[in-house]
Amino acid sequence: MKHSYFISDLHLSETQPELTALFVDFMQNLAPQAERLYILGDLFDFWIGDDEQSTLIQQVKDLIKSVSNQGVQCYFQHGNRDFLIGERFSKETGAQLLPDYQLITLYDKKSYFVMAIRFVLMTWLINNFAVECIKNGCNVCFCACH
């Protein structure tokens, strides 16, 4: 049975060539054996838009495209550092962009992917908004926090 790989928070940058080398090795040797590859945010240390070009960015795009061309279903979910990755990246790599919230069924088990920044926002809402509402007898905050 084929398997799936999940990677996240690599923060690839030209200042960390050792990390990039490990990613290249993974993409060339392990990822092609998978059924699915999920890249769950912050693949790059920063991303200022799909027009951004560098040797590293092109190398990463080519690696994802190669894995996709070998029949691996590739998925990408934004992180807080690469939330500007868009449709152009998707077209150039063959990776399907996932929304901030995604429910999948994988090997008969349901999994829910949520962009991590959502948890930070939820914590802030609970700590700053919900507590004040509760103190003041307001129940509107519960709707806002669901």
Q: Residue ranges per domain, the chain?
A: 4-114, 116-146
Whole-model pTM?
Answer: 0.73
Instruction: Please write the tens of the pLDDT for every residue from 21-37.
Output: 999 999 999 999 999 99
The two three-digit tokens of residue 73, written as one number: 């279903």
**Contact by Cβ (8 Å): 95, 63:** no
CATH superfamily of 4-114: Metallo-dependent phosphatases (3.60.21.10)
Model pLDDT for residues 118-137, shown as the tens digit of each residue: 555 555 555 555 555 555 55
